[in-house]
Amino acid sequence: MVTQLSGSMETIYNDVVKRNPGEAEFHQAVKEVLESVAPALVKYPEFVEARIIERICEPERQTIFRVPWQDDKGQMHVNRGIRVQFNSALGPYKGGIRFHPSVYLGIIKFLGFEQIFKNSLTGLPIGGGKGGSDFDPKGKSDSEVMRFCQSFMIELHRLIGEHTDVPAGDIGVGAREIGYMFGQYKRLTNRFEAGVLTGKGLLYGGSLARTQATGYGCTYFVEEMLKAKNNSFDGKKVVVSGSGNVAIYTLEKVVQLGGKVIAMSDSGGYVVDEKGFDFGTIKRLKEVERRRIKDYCDYHKHARYIEGGSIWDVPCDIAMPSATQNELTGKDAKELVKNGCIAVGEGANMPSTPEAIQVFLDAGVLFGPAKAANAGGVATSALEMQQNAGREAWEFAEVDAKLHQIMRNIYKTTSEAADEFGVPGNFVVGANIAGFIKVARVMMIHGLI
């Protein structure tokens, strides 16, 4: 089936590369989806005729803007802001904002593109978008971060709204940044529009369990994959890369389910704690004190810090990459397989390179791709929007139960699509096809847009 259409897919892909030069991450994300959805186009030839693929690869709108700001010494700086509104077939554009020096259009487009299919998989009414800036919040004072966020929002506010586009956090953007951005949006628009941003603080419209949602959700997804093989987290050694929002709550949930997290990292290196990471220490170090992962060893003397190197060299049963894109290479994947890894859950977006994914699939490792495995964050953001719309605030247990059910449904949808299209156990293809079909059908219903 795939070969029948690969020629036209290749033409479409080459065209995407030509029209979006230099955007390697975006090309990579498009390629993975195009490789996966070919069988769906055989089943639904009307999508080919309506040029759904070509339309889906082109953002509905993308905006680049200047963000000038002043540091504490009065020096002026200029950063670049980006918002890509990729697809609104299923609902308002929805996707986080990333502040990291590596940010450029290609990264925001890959994230926005992935978000379309991920959001579709959640079953909730949200389209796909993403934004960010090459601003580096690391080492900046609170007031510098505030001034940057305010300047960023002066441009962003024209583009967003509770029925239009609803940003949230991502790398470098947490509750503090969302708070500053919300305050500025309210001031600029003279509207307390709670549903315009998600990931808000609990005192002004945030949802309980949103902070935990991506890490918890990814762990629930891996739990489902294991359960289908009569297995569980119980007694498993788990390596979680990163030590940010996603990684912290992956650690918490893995421990709750009986597993042991034995390694965590940041961009400087990784720490190994064979006794199992202590959630309280990590939470305090990272969320309150904003310190580095190596400082964990100050409190747990038996733990060791390895500067640089690859965290994937640490032998484990389950790997949960939760830092950034392309952090797990083909070589890393081979090492993990060699050391007996049985499952991978992608907490970060596109953390495994295409070569790594192939190694896992060939070795029969259970592989939960980001679009499915980390969709719990955006799903809970949609639950936050629901609460805001109804002026309600649900209990933690209620939100968590809904999140858990959403992750079970995503697993079921993904795994059933993989079965239906002849690749049982291939959740990459399953997630891409299931996410794609729903968006494509709605685009057909909406006419030529």
* Catalytically annotated residues: 130
> Do strands 76-87 and 61-70 pair parallel, antiparallel, or not at all (unpaired)?
antiparallel
Q: How far apart are CA 380 and CA 244, in angstroms?
A: 18
Q: How far apart are CA 426 and CA 34, in angstroms?
A: 15
DSSP for 358-405?
Answer: HHHHHTT-EEE-HHHHTTHHHHHHHHHHHHHHTT----HHHHHHHHHH
Least CB distance from residue 43 to ligand NDP, whole Å? Answer: 29
CB of 93 closer than 8 Å to CB of 412: no
Q: Tell me the sheet residues that pair with 131.
A: 83, 97
Q: How far apart are CA 69 and CA 78, in angstroms?
A: 6
Query: By C-alpha distance, which of 3, 2, 29, 6 is closest to 16?
Result: 29
User: Between 39 and 81, whose beta carbon lies closer to ligand NDP?
Assistant: 81
Least CB distance from residue 67 to ligand NDP, whole Å? Answer: 19
In the complex, residue closest to ligand NDP by CB: 244
Q: How far apart are CA 15 and CA 177, in angstroms?
A: 37
Give 72-76's long-range contacts (Cβ < 8 A, gap of 24+): 72/141, 72/143, 72/144
Polymer length of the chain:
449
Q: Where are the alpha helices (DSSP H) in 90-203?
A: 105-121, 142-156, 175-189
Non-local CB neighbours of 356 within 8 Å, separated by 6+ positions: 328, 329, 330, 332, 333
User: Between 170 and 252, whose beta carbon lies closer to ligand NDP?
Assistant: 170
User: Between 150 and 374, whose beta carbon lies closer to ligand NDP?
Assistant: 374
Least CB distance from residue 184 to ligand NDP, whole Å? Answer: 21
173: burial class by Cβ within 10 Å (0-12, 13-18, 19+)? buried
Q: How many other C-beta atoms lie within 10 A of the C-beta of residue 7?
A: 9
Least CB distance from residue 3 to ligand NDP, whole Å? Answer: 33
User: Between 223 and 384, whose beta carbon lies closer to ligand NDP?
Assistant: 384
Residue 120 dihedral angles phi and psi, to the nearest 5°: -60, -45
Least CB distance from residue 207 to ligand NDP, whole Å? Answer: 12
Least CB distance from residue 436 to ligand NDP, whole Å? Answer: 19
User: Between 52 and 370, whose beta carbon lies closer to ligand NDP?
Assistant: 370
Q: How many other C-beta atoms lie within 10 A of the C-beta of residue 245?
A: 25
User: Between 82 and 348, whose beta carbon lies closer to ligand NDP?
Assistant: 348
Least CB distance from residue 348 to ligand NDP, whole Å? Answer: 3
Q: For residue 417, how many C-alpha atoms fall within 13 Å in the half-sphere facing its CB?
A: 25
User: Between 322 and 352, whose beta carbon lies closer to ligand NDP?
Assistant: 322
User: Between 322 and 421, whose beta carbon lies closer to ligand NDP?
Assistant: 322
Residue ranges that bind ligand NDP, judged by CB under 6 A: 169-172, 214, 242-247, 265-268, 322-324, 327, 347-349, 374, 377
Q: Structure tokens of 59?
A: 């953002």
Q: For residue 91, how many C-alpha atoms fall within 13 Å in the half-sphere facing its CB?
A: 22
Least CB distance from residue 289 to ligand NDP, whole Å? Answer: 13
